[in-house]
Structure 1
């Protein structure tokens, strides 16, 4: 997956976004909240935002498929 730990609030936001995507009802507010949280986390951790986003999506979507 990734070499770093995601905060639970970021995982929860991405999980909500993924559920909304699957239901065909992703809102701009949810998408914006996820992107803002990813950017903040990446900046504070000194990580590449795109790497953070891709790792987070993999983690959330892989876990959702396994459930």
Structure 2
């Protein structure tokens, strides 16, 4: 089952990933991502961990096109 990820959730995870790569992840950003993941999972009726994994795959493990 593919999990639909809204653009605002993807943007939030992209911000967190940039902060992680720079060694500057803030507690505020981390908490915002977790809250958004939880809210989306509840609204979509899916497991929060599945949403989190799908989100990380979408943002952190993108395959180059070609």
TM-score by length of 1: 0.89
- What do you get for the CA RMSD once the two structures are aligned? 1.6
C-alpha contact 2:3 2:54 (8 A) present in aligned 1: no
How many corresponding residue pairs?
65
Unaligned 5+ residue runs, structure 2?
none
Q: 2:28 matched to which residue of 1?
A: 29
Question: Pairwise mapping of residues 46-65 of structure 1 onto structure 2 (< 5 A)?
Answer: 46-63=45-62
Gaps of 5+ in 1: none
Structure with more of its chain in helix, by fraction? 1
Q: TM-score, normalised by structure 2?
A: 0.90
Larger Rg: 2
Q: Distance in 2 between matches of 1:42 and 1:59?
A: 16
